[in-house]
Amino acid sequence: MDLVAACRAFVSVGTHGSFTVGASVARIPQSVASRRVAALERHLGGQLFDRTSRSVTLTPFGRDMLHSARRIVDLAEAMEHDAERARLRPFRLAVPAVCAPRSLAALVVEARRHELNLELRRAEPAERARLRQSFEVRAALVCVPSDEAAWRVPLGLASGADPGVEVVHLETLRASRADRRTRRRRVWIAPEDDVPHVRDPLTRLRDAAGLQPAQVAVAASIVDAAAEALAGSDLMLCSPAEARELGLHWRPLGELRPVRGYQVTAGVREDAERLRGVLHTAVGRCLGAAERVPGESRAHGRRVRA
């Protein structure tokens, strides 16, 4: 027996003194109201109404039970109201500043289909970590090495002009002796990739290729990095999706295959699992990632980072 539904029918009939009116107010058929009241009487072990062909009146037992039934109905309605408020409460999520607005909007729409009201905060890696640590957001997409990642984003080099090659080798940026006085071409790293597991292998490759230290540099923002690539012969480290968004020509790097790795960090395991579960594909589109991390195990995919 559905105790709450039975109590609603009992309270409505008892308040209005009529099965017909009570059922109408409760928005159920009269036959349903009668069955629910009868089931409640069997459950409680006593008769709630004296029924005649013309009237319905509460029995002494029914009058004693009416107050308790009202409390159950009121509590159930309060619980339903609280549940609605909880569903509408914003889920604040810190996301990379490099994510395109259109893909973020699509993520918000997809989250609503799963009764999740996302409120997004775009920020650089260090700021995302700070927002999560200070509990200003419920969860954050943080940068991790590729072997710890739920989402992986391939990186390469992008330029304003078509490079005319399938793969760009960093050693081609090395200037000849005749060109020592000319400005060296540079590779610009956006703040999103200014993390050790992306930046350090690239700087080691720079040194191995005989480039000057300034030829691999961190830009103040992704806009600044893109502007340098669009304005001249410099290159920008980015994903294929970012290159398309910025109107740049993207190519893989010949000597290295840099990858951005992302994982969810959240205070509650269920929050992280929702993002890695039903929203995995939508989050991946925002990041420019593949559908799934190749070779990722189920247990690894469910891991929550503190």
Q: How would residue 1 be classed by pLDDT, with cut points 50, 70 and 90?
A: confident
| Rounded Cα gap, residues 135 and 157, in angstroms | 36
Rg (CA), the chain: 31
Longest dimension (CA), the chain: 111
Helix 280-287 vs helix 101-113: crossing angle, to nearest 10: 170
Q: Is the pLDDT of residue 298 over 90?
A: no
pLDDT recorded at residue 40: 94
Residue percentage of the chain with pLDDT more than 90: 75
DSSP for residue 305: B
Q: pLDDT digits over 258-294, tens only?
A: 999 999 999 889 999 989 999 999 999 999 985 443 3
Average pLDDT over every residue of 199-221: 93
**What is the pLDDT, as a whole number, of residue 207?**
93
The predicted pLDDT at position 250 comes to 95
Is residue 257 predicted with pLDDT exceeding 70? yes
Report the helix count and the strand count for the chain, using DSSP H and E: 12, 12
Cα–Cα distance for residue pair 250/303, rounded to 1 Å: 33
Whether the pLDDT of residue 241 is over 60: the answer is yes
| Distances in whole angstroms, Cα of residue 77 to Cα of each of 43, 74, 80, 81, 221 | 22, 5, 5, 6, 50
Q: How confident is the model at residue 184 (pLDDT cuts 50, 70, 90)?
A: confident
Predicted local confidence at residue 301, as pLDDT: 38
Residue from 243, 208, 210 nearest 229 by CA: 243
User: For the whole model, what pTM was predicted?
Assistant: 0.67
Spatial contact of 251 and 157, defined as CB atoms under 8 Å apart: yes
Contact 49/111 with Cβ under 8 angstroms? no
Mean pLDDT value across the chain: 88
pLDDT at 181: 61
Confidence band for 243, pLDDT divided at 50, 70 and 90: very high
Tell me the pLDDT band of 192, cut-offs 50, 70 and 90. Answer: very high
Long-range contacts from 240-249, C-beta under 8 angstroms, 24+ separation: 240/154, 240/156, 240/288, 241/100, 241/288, 242/98, 242/158, 242/288, 243/156, 243/158, 245/100, 246/158, 248/158, 248/159, 248/160, 249/158, 249/159, 249/160, 249/161, 249/162, 249/163
The pLDDT of residue 179 is 60
Section 129-157 average pLDDT: 94
By the 8 A CB rule, do 234 and 188 touch?
yes
Give the whole-angstrom CA distance, residue 111 versus residue 239.
24
DSSP state letter for 304: -
Residue 277, by phi and psi: left (phi above 0), alpha (psi -120 to 50) or beta? Answer: alpha
pLDDT of residue 177: 62
For 13-40, write each residue's pLDDT tens digit. 999 989 999 999 999 999 999 999 999 9
Q: Which residues pair with 154 in a beta bridge?
A: 259
Q: What is the pLDDT of residue 272?
A: 92
Share of residues in the chain with pLDDT > 70 (%): 91
Work out the pLDDT band at 85, boundaries 50, 70, 90: confident
